[in-house]
Amino acid sequence: MLPVLLVLTCLAAFLSISLGAVSVPPGDLWRALTGQLQNTPTAHIIHYARLPRTCGCLLAGAALAVSGVIIQNVLSNPLAAPNIIGVNSGAGLMVALSCAIAPTAAAYVPVMAFLGALAGVLLVLLIAERTGASRFTLVLAGVAVSSIFSAGIDAVVTFVPEALNGYSDFRIGGLSGLTMARLLPAAWVILPALTAALSMADEMDLLLLGRDTAQSLGLSAKRSRLVLLTISAALAGAAVSFSGLLGFVGLIVPHIMRRLVGEESRLLTAASALGGAVLLTLCDLAARILFLPYELPVGIVLALAGGPFFIWLLLWQRGGRIL
């Protein structure tokens, strides 16, 4: 299955760079990427608009999907996802604060986003454990924390309107106007975090057996949970730092990939990374070309797909069935 997903990822990237308000023939695309086509409108479109945006879709999609896999496995909750339990909004609040306080320190934005995401997931986990840690308690705690963080973002933007340029796009989630300079600091966080997530697949498998069972097999469950949640926060925070508060990638993709590749964490993590990259890239492409000459933020397309999926998932869980 992984080779198929890899081919789909490459195809989605090719379509994303080629299609848009101006279509780029494959020959011109190849010449532009290899440096044979320079200082032309086509080369500028590819290098300064399409290529950064496509790379951003691939990185954010993979990061959010793998973050969702980790959160669902570590918390043993199929309803959990970065946007649902406050991880994204915590990262968004720290992005807003860092942009308001130090607007020129763009390189530190992913780090601040990571700290906000980590604070969000740890706060939700603490509330859930204090109140029973049921699946729905965790989701409700996440919704409450997410609302508080979102109110904090609104407050920052109210007092410092220039803190987040294009605030509506950030709130919904979008990648228009993305540059390589803004993307690279986040990439240096996402790529090592993806590698770390794959390296801890065995720990995720043990945690799925339950905390007591994992402890009896020699795993330090508390430490492993903290490390994995830290990796999840790094992935979600770095993605939010340049893509905004994108939702539902971390919920939809892990469930689809479980049906395709099963529950084994290493295979599921790798498949989810590719699947998330494909989903976000194709949704962004659809947002760009479906309503030409107008363009939708990709977060709207994801919400239209993810909202019904989440409702179906809630109804499935209420029926007592296990995904």
Q: Does any domain span residue 250?
A: yes
Q: Does any domain span residue 142?
A: yes
Tokens of 75: 């918390």
Separation of alpha carbons 42 and 18, rounded Å: 10
Query: How many domains does one find in the chain?
Result: 1
190-200 burial code (b ≥16 CB/10 A, e <16): beebbeebeeb
Side chain identity at residue 62, one-letter code: A
Q: Does any domain span residue 141?
A: yes
136-157 burial code (b ≥16 CB/10 A, e <16): ebbbbbbeebbeebbebbeebb
pTM for the whole structure: 0.85
pLDDT bucket at 63, cuts 50 / 70 / 90: very high
Each residue of 97-142: pLDDT tens digit?
Answer: 888 887 776 667 778 888 888 888 788 777 767 766 556 677 777 7
The segment with the largest mean pLDDT, out of 105-114, 126-135, 277-286, 295-304, is: 277-286
196: Cβ–Cβ under 8 A, 6 or more apart, which residues?
231
Q: Does any domain span residue 220?
A: yes
Segments in the chain forming alpha helices (H): 2-18, 26-33, 41-45, 51-75, 87-101, 109-130, 135-159, 167-172, 180-199, 201-208, 211-216, 221-243, 249-261, 265-289, 298-318
Q: What percent of the chain has pLDDT over 70?
A: 89
Q: Does any domain span residue 323?
A: no
Residue 230 lies in domain = 2-318
CATH number at residue 308: 1.10.3470.10
Q: Does any domain span residue 257?
A: yes
Separation of alpha carbons 15 and 149, rounded Å: 36
Q: Does any domain span residue 74?
A: yes
213: pLDDT strictly greater than 80: no
DSSP 35: T
Quick one: pLDDT at residue 279?
Answer: 92
SS3 of residue 133 by DSSP: coil
Quick one: pLDDT at residue 196?
Answer: 93
The tokens 């992005």 sit on which residue? 95
DSSP 264: -
Residue 273: count of CB within 10 angstroms of its CB: 29
Q: Does any domain span residue 130?
A: yes
